[in-house]
Amino acid sequence: MQDTTPLLRPTDFPAISRSALTLLQVNLGYLCNLSCTHCHVNAGPKRTELMDKDTLALVLEFVDQHQIQCVDMTGGAPEMNPHFRALVKALYERDVAMIDRCNLTILNEPVYEDMAEFLARHRVNVVASLPCYSEKNVEQQRGKGIFNSSINALKKLNALGYGRDPALKLDLVYNPNGAFLPPSQQMLERDYKQQLKDNFAIDFNQLLTITNMPISRFGAQLLAKDGFDQYMRLLKENFSEANLASLMCKSLISVDWQGFVYDCDFNQMLAMPMHNPAMIASSEQRLHLRDLLAADTEGWPIAIGEHCYGCTAGQGSSCGGALG
């Protein structure tokens, strides 16, 4: 596990506050069929943390209470939560937009071979991790055989209309394969589209470039190679004040597998809970989703740390890709 002490020291990152809530990001658990080097939640096949049925019912109650426009389902591999399909069906009935953060390879696993059809039937937007269009680079980050499995999954999604039918959106996610900032999202998207179209006849909507955060598995690698301080300098030297207005933490709440709430999933991994300026009664120091059922979080201060420079460096970074 990463020593988070360097990130939890006092920071000179600018104070920021929450705006209107539009997105609920729900981590359904850390179980995953992969163990990627850039994974900021340390997900893997041996993880047992999974959101239970009661907590998922609370998620739906919160969606109803706050008229949430979109639920972003993440993990691990969110599809591996045994209640994933029930959640998708309930959100579909409510006409709530959904995002499935898919590692692609899960769609080829024997138990999940019909998952792609299920997602298409319920109009779930797929945001799929494909850290490069090069087999070598993908397998360095994710393991042997992962690239070909990902390509097969993308072909399956395309055959169902994803990336081609306007109602079935398919976005891909790029993470740098090392301690450097992503290149221009616009330029890299053009390269991805050309390479995937020419070599595999694959279509997709957008490429989302996401900066590697110096936490969890990637942070541990930086510390092991004495590269942590150098990477933090890179992030700080490329800080862009213009990115502050578009930070994802302003308009979302991140919910962990137990139902505790955070300003973003990076804060979740660093155990930095949402601030509680309204002094809402809670059974723990951490706020739980049940504590926010009747709360208006607009204007609340956002918990910040050194890692926040990862979201504001260069073009900026969010779960929706570059900010600038």
Q: Which domains does the chain have, with CATH numbers?
A: 5-312 (3.20.20.70)
Does residue 184 have a pLDDT over 90?
Answer: yes
DSSP-assigned beta bridge partners for residue 172: 128, 207
pLDDT beyond 80 at 277: no
Rounded Cα distance between 136 and 170, Å, is: 23
* Helix residue ranges, H only, the chain: 5-8, 53-66, 84-93, 115-121, 135-142, 146-159, 185-200, 216-224, 228-237, 265-269, 309-312
**Contact between 160 and 166 (Cβ < 8 Å):** no
**pLDDT over 60 (residue 270):** yes
Token pair belonging to 225: 């190679």
pLDDT of residue 2: 44
Q: Chain-wide mean pLDDT for the chain?
A: 90
Query: Mean per-residue pLDDT for 312-323?
Result: 90
- Pick the range with the lowest mean pLDDT from 19-28, 34-43, 248-257: 34-43
More confident residue, 6 or 173: 173
pLDDT value, residue 278 = 64
The pLDDT of residue 57 is above 80? yes
pTM of the model: 0.91
pLDDT tens across 232-266, in order?
999 999 999 999 999 999 999 999 999 999 999 89
CA 223 to chain centre: 23
Positive or negative: CA dihedral 186, 190, 193, 195: negative
Sheet-wide strand order for 97-102:
206-209, 170-174, 125-129, 97-102, 70-74, 23-27, 252-255, 261-262
* Dist. CA 27–CA 9, nearest whole Å: 26
Range of weakest confidence among 87-96, 121-130, 267-276: 267-276
Interval 72-88 mean pLDDT: 96
The region that residue 90 occupies, defined by phi over 0 for left and psi between -120 and 50 for alpha, beta otherwise, is alpha
Is residue 283 pLDDT above 80, yes or no?
no
Could you tell me how far CA 235 lies from the centroid of its own chain? 19
CB 204 within 8 A of CB 281: no
Provide the pLDDT confidence category of residue 125 given band limits of 50, 70 and 90: very high
pLDDT band at 37 (very low <50, low <70, confident <90, very high): low
Reply yes or no on whether the pLDDT at 81 is more than 80: yes
Average pLDDT over residues 92-109: 96
SS3 (DSSP) at 243: helix
Q: What is the pLDDT of residue 204?
A: 98
Q: Which two tokens stand for residue 274?
A: 């949402």
Q: Which residues pair with 70 in a beta bridge?
A: 23, 97
Kind of pairing between the strands at 252-255 and 23-27: parallel
Looking at residue 319, what DSSP letter applies?
Answer: T
pLDDT score of 279: 58
pLDDT in the model for residue 275: 84
